Amino acid sequence: MTFDPRTVGLMIVLLTFISAVMLALVQRQARSIQGVGCWALAELLVGIGLFLTLMQVFISPWLSFVLGNTLLLTGLGLTWYGIKIYKNEAPPTKLIAGIVVFTALMGWWFGVMNPQPAIRIAILSLLYALLAGLAASSLLVKVAQPLRTAYWITGGAFGVYALAMLARGLVIGVIEQGMAAFEPTPINMLTFVVGASTQLVTTFGLILMITYRMSMNMERLASIDALTGALNRRSLEQGATSLAAQGTGRSIGVIMLDIDHFKLVNDHYGHPAGDYVLQEVTTLARAQLRDRDLFARMGGEEFCVVLAEGDEDRAARIAERIREVCSHEAMNFNGVAIHVRLSAGVAAGRVSGGALEDLIGEADLALYNAKQTGRDKVVRWSEIAAHSRPTPAQRIAVPEALSRIA
């Protein structure tokens, strides 16, 4: 059976159009993920460009050598551009634009004004190799699972394609300078077969990257409070369980926070103002914590801090800092100054000596005492422990899993 590069090329064109449609459909469901639209448009441009170059014996050199090759390089560049913005990195706009302009000028000179197929094919192949290699280098990096699998599948495909195009450019440009683009030679057979194969793999890899990113976004949304961005009860449970497992026998601090007279904020200034206050308290409080500490909204205007380590003195100092920073200056909402005061209760202890829910219950009782004895203050559990014991009715609702931490 005779190998026909044009037949394989037409198959690649069909695959790119199918990929463009698939990515466009995925983009409609993944609008929050950057780069997907670029990938869909890139596949379309690559398909059109390759089709025009395949039709070079039937159409004008301007359409085939200039427009076709320019669209091909634009598509490859746009794929790399999409990868960069998918990763929230600065897009290489100037470099890609320079390559595209150079491709157009080179196609015009070596395809129209001074036709030299071998030089044109060699330069184009090296440009394909460059862009594919840059795309591969952006993906073959250290990254946490599950994105690592998707990154490396896609990056590996780009890497293989880059090597194939590099070999094609060197063979045609150096060894066999008379070779045409679509002659049934071994190097053409290799590059077209590799092109068809990597087209399938890269599309699969890009869709896998989108799927994993959507899954991670949904998991993140499920673990945070939508209004404030603080952890919710579920994620507090998971984080506290992890802290307990990592620091058996280590003292852990718990702070319960409550905004004093928060109902008056909603009544006097409206619920948007109340939402703003909750967001500002979250921002100010989290700024006083370390990365490993947990900050969660327990509901309404009540928050919980679980310190990765520290005794009651440290927990009280942090609670006092949070209270002071939130009350230091009025919070400005649409020109209205809103003064915020916080009450806090703190407790600390070794996880191995008692369940974490007991510490949360003790901090909650200390908070209750702060509210009952004047508000705008921090109360330690040790200050009231002698005459106060938590009862089931007093304890806050704590996820069941915390009761199993010992």
Largest alpha-carbon pair distance within the chain?
97
Q: How confident is the model at residue 399 (pLDDT cuts 50, 70, 90)?
A: very low
Name 266's bridge partners: none
Q: Which of 231-245, 260-274, 338-352 bottoms out in mean pLDDT, i.e. has the lowest?
A: 231-245
Alpha carbon of 136 to those of 35, 197, 268: distances in Å? 16, 16, 57
pLDDT digits (tens, 9 = 90+) for 368-390: 999 999 999 999 998 887 666 55
Instruction: Tell me which of 275-284, 296-305, 347-356 is least confident.
Output: 347-356
- Burial class for 167, CB neighbours closer than 10 Å (0-12, 13-18, 19+): middle
Kindly list the structural domains of the chain, giving each domain's residue range(s) and its CATH number in brackets, ordered by start: 5-220 (1.20.1070), 233-404 (3.30.70.270)
Mean pLDDT of 228-238: 82
Higher pLDDT, 272 or 1: 272
Strand-pair partners of 295: 305
Which of 18-27, 275-284, 322-331, 380-389 shows the lowest per-residue confidence on average (mean pLDDT)? 380-389
Q: Is the pLDDT of residue 353 over 60?
A: no
Residue 57 is predicted with a pLDDT of 84
Q: What is the pLDDT of residue 355?
A: 61
Global confidence as pTM: 0.70
133 contacts: CB under 8 Å, gap ≥ 6: 158, 159, 162, 166
What is the distance of C-alpha 8 from the center of its chain?
Answer: 36
Q: Helix axis angle, 147-170 relative to 186-223, nearest 10°?
A: 160
Model confidence pLDDT, tens digit, residues 135-176: 999 999 998 888 999 999 999 999 999 999 999 888 887 776
Instruction: Report phi then psi at 346, rounded to 5.
Output: -130, 150
Pull the structure tokens for residue 17.
């159009």
Nearest C-alpha neighbor of 92 from the set 124, 65, 130, 120: 130
DSSP H/E element including 305: strand 302-307
pLDDT at 140: 95
- Whether the Cβ atoms of residue 345 and residue 369 lie closer than 8 Å to each other: yes
Supply the pLDDT for residue 177. 57
Q: 336-338 and 331-333 as β-strands: parallel, antiparallel, unpaired? A: antiparallel
